[in-house]
Chains A and B, each alone.
Chain A
Amino acid sequence: MSYASDFITTAKREFRYLARREFDELQENTVGILLVLPLVATLVALYLYPTVQAIIYSLQDISIFLGDSEVVGLANYIDLLRSGTFYNALWNGIIYTAGSVLLTVVVGVATGLLLNRTFTGERIATGLILVPYMVPTVAAVILFRWMLDGLYGVGNYALVVSTLIDEPIAWLASTRFAMPALILISGWRLYPFVTMLVLAKLQTIPKSYYESARLMGASRWEMFRHITLPQLRGVLFVAILLRLVWTFNLFDIIWLGTQGGPGNATETLPIMAYRLTFIGNDLGEGASVAVVTFLVLAVIVYGYFRLYGTTEEPR
């Protein structure tokens, strides 16, 4: 028994040795390929395949039932580009993204600066500021729907009592106010992401920068403008980029808030793609909207990199 056990242990050791030697003898490139292979396979399965499949569907006349399909070339794209609904959705997406990103960045930076100071209850304040990010999206949007309801909303009640408005407004049912209301909900829900990035960066800025500036007679505004803001540039570049991409593709807040309505007043490209595919049963047209969304986003991101792509921080 002991002999057998020793034999197995020795064999294991020998196998490990041989395997390590074989691995050591592999070329560096081969090792790299082996190490990234699982990740590449996962990305191909989860990203590349669906993307290619979506492009293929966008070139077909095919319903959500995946029955008989017919290759129609670029017909879906041509129909899309001729449709006023598409330009309306594109414009809505740009407005929604710009408004939402601006709001999250302004509020996120402001709360980051606030939390970077030392004050009583700082930890509690940090926890409270993170709450919107921790509340499930569906709960947050339902809460806002109730508050902004034109018939019973407590938000309307507060605004009327404080004489800011004369009568209740159906915020999410009005073609004029639905988009600002959605931007408000998105801003509230998503600003903690920016807050946390900004706060993390603020805590790495050497205090000596501010002390030197103070000795040289700089005002608070000058210190913010010439020290804080340049130091935040790198982190803001990333935060805005991510928020741009996520917000332009955002579906849940809009769908739960207005379903793209009233009419098409808040319909963005992702909502349009969903509606064409799952309500209109037209997978081909829905896929073409998704592909165009991808292309539009790629152009926006390219432009963003060209404009603000230098992330090198001042020394």
Chain B
Amino acid sequence: MGNDTSGRGIGAKQRAATRDTYRRRTVLKGATTGATIGALSVAGCLGGGNGGPVLRVINSAYQQQEDEYRAIFDEFEEEHDCEVEYTRSDFASAPSEAAQAQAGGNPYDLLMLASPGNNVFGVQEGLYQPINDVIEDMGAEDHWREEFLVQIDGDYYFAPNTGTVSTLIYREDLFNEYDAPMPPFDSWDEYHTAAETMTDEDENLYGSPVFLGSNHFHGILPLSLLHGRGGSIINTDDEVVYDSEETVEMLEFMRDLNEFSPQAAHGADIPEMRPPLYQGTYAMTWYSTNVIPYDIEQYNPDLTGDVQVAPIPAYDSSYEPVARLTGLGHGLGAETEHPELAKDLLREITSFEGVMRLMTAQPASHVPAIHGILEEDDLWETDVMQDYEEHYRDLVDIADEYGRVVAVEENEGHINPVTGQAVAETHVISSVQDVILEDEDPQDAAEHWADEIRDDYADQLND
């Protein structure tokens, strides 16, 4: 799968050098921490109760990472004589919780509002302040992988640590059994053929479920297909171009795929998008984070090695797939009373050691947002990683080759405030709903929803 940046081809000497670097960093980190404890503890005494200031953090980490965040925060509290109040929030409530906290005079110091769209919207709404100094201090592109570092109006607001990537997930065993074209697919035609071959209603098997829920998340597949056809919602001149030929083709393709989907998939909630794959009802599905080891353990422990990942395909070989990345990371609250201490915590959770801890807390699930992690032996030595190494390497390759923070950077290198709000993704899924559920003509749906986007974002567009 193209360039191998995953560490598989790295020689023993190089790995040893990387390991030494990791250890040296750990020692240096300890020394630095010791030196800063004194200074910060003095500052800490000037703060709130229990002898130190209180840092308030909100994010939407998965369970395993949530536990590791708590452990990191506990250690930070001891090292810096402060208190870290941690709130885990979900997609729908994170923005309002953060906004209400700020409006109520008790703002969060570090925030990660569940989705890239929410985070960018938070910047526009004044919840964050720039952290250019943190990004520069830590080495910018030398520390972070380029695709994860995003600027808004020339400033950095987020320090990423780990992210997720959208992929097709498929049952290799079933594909072999039905002798279907094996992913990764070179074109939509191949995808269609595979979905058709893998649909056997007598066996309650469906090639490709079509999810029609109204969450922005449900729009990821059609939006990825649209991008993989060279289409877009907004162009670089901030004009709505959703009523394009490419959109019509995407909508027609979604309608075709629906022939190989059970109707039950239409109403599937987000957690319901994966289990039927492991239960043998879906031959393929798609999802944004790779929770395969956890899923297999939960739904079908016999499937180890049979579940693989591939990019959501592009239209044909003349186009490139687009894999939606999440993982903007945490940002600094606009009204934090302890900016320097909060920045220290930000550095902690985006440091090499911090990212390693989060990566190993939920192995084979996230993509590191910084360099060097994938070359680290410790990452590959967990039991989970030993069992799922092949597909995890495929996952990081997909992120490397095709990853794009779609909600923010719909057009490469261009921060788009409209798609940044993630709401455009719900417009996309609404157009698919109209074509499939209401039998609307794809051309009409494309035009109708382009007009809706124009109406909804009139003040932010050039149209």
Contacts and interface: CB of A to CB of B under 8 A. Distances in A.
Interface string A126-155: 000000000000000000000001111000
Interface stretch (A17-25, A169-177, A191-199): A169-177
Interface in A30-71: 63-68
A13 to B, nearest CB: 45
B262 A262 contact: no
A110 B216 CA distance: 44
Interface in B196-230: 204, 212-216
A67 B99 contact: yes
A262 B96 contact: no
Nearest to B212: A262
Contacts of B438: 263
A164 interface: no
Interface stretch (B119-127, B145-153, B234-242, B310-318): B119-127
B102 interface: yes
Given A150-B264, A263-B438, A280-B426, A65 B214 contact: no
B134 interface: no
A301 B451 CA distance: 37
B121 A279 contact: no
B50 interface: no
A278 B93 contact: yes
A68 B263 contact: no
B303 interface: no
B267 interface: yes
A169 B264 CA distance: 8
A263 B434 contact: yes
A174 B279 CA distance: 22
A265 B263 CA distance: 14
Nearest to A280: B423
Contacts of B269: 259
Contacts of A259: 213-215, 269
Contact of A67 (B125, B204, B426): B125
B94 to A, nearest CB: 10
Find the residue from A169, A172, A278, A281 having the highest chain B CB count within 10 A. A281
A65 B95 contact: yes
Contacts of B161: none
A49 to B, nearest CB: 15
Given A65-B127, A68-B126, A151-B276, A262 B95 contact: no
A114 B121 CA distance: 57
A262 B437 contact: yes
Contacts of A278: 92-93, 95-96
Nearest to B95: A64
Contacts of A281: 95, 118, 121, 421, 423
Interface string B268-284: 11000000100101000
Interface in B122-146: 122, 124-127
A279 B267 contact: no
Majority SS at the chain A contact face: loop
Interface residues of A, number: 30
Contacts, number: 100
A275 B126 CA distance: 22
Contacts of B121: 63, 65, 281
A292 to B, nearest CB: 19
A174 B95 CA distance: 32
Contacts of B204: 151
A153 to B, nearest CB: 9
A173 B264 contact: yes
B267 A170 contact: yes
B100 interface: yes
B263 A64 contact: no
B103 interface: yes
Contacts of A63: 99, 121, 125
B255 interface: no
A63 B127 CA distance: 12
A131 B437 CA distance: 36
Interface in B311-334: none
Contacts of B166: none
B265 interface: yes
A172 B118 CA distance: 29
A261 interface: yes
A185 interface: no
Nearest to B281: A151
A264 B268 CA distance: 14
Contacts of A261: 212-214, 266-267, 433
B92 A172 contact: no
A101 interface: no
A66 B99 contact: yes
A173 B263 contact: yes
A173 B267 contact: yes
B207 to A, nearest CB: 14
Interface string A60-96: 0001111110000000000000000000000000000
A16 to B, nearest CB: 42
Contacts of A279: 92, 214-216, 423, 426
B415 to A, nearest CB: 18
B126 A67 contact: yes
Interface string A256-271: 0011111111000000
Contacts of B103: 66
Contacts of A152: 279
Nearest to B103: A66
Given A263-B434, A279-B426, A64 B264 contact: no
B168 interface: no
Contacts of A172: 267
B444 to A, nearest CB: 14
Contacts of B265: 173
A261 B269 CA distance: 10
Interface string B81-119: 000000000001101101110110000000000000010
Nearest to A274: B92
A151 B121 CA distance: 38
A68 B262 CA distance: 45
Contacts of A64: 95-96, 99
A263 B212 contact: yes
Find the residue from B96, B204, B214, B265 having the highest chain A CB count within 10 A. B214
Interface string A267-300: 0000000010011110000000000000000000
Interface of A: 63-68, 149-152, 169-170, 172-175, 178, 258-265, 275, 278-281
Given A151-B281, A170-B262, 11 more contacts: A63-B99, A64-B95, A65-B125, A66-B103, A68-B126, A150-B263, A172-B267, A261-B266, A262-B213, A278-B95, A280-B426
10 contacts: A173-B264, A173-B267, A261-B213, A261-B266, A261-B433, A262-B267, A263-B212, A279-B426, A280-B423, A281-B121
Q: Closest 5 interchain pairs by CB?
A: A173-B267, A150-B264, A65-B125, A67-B125, A170-B264
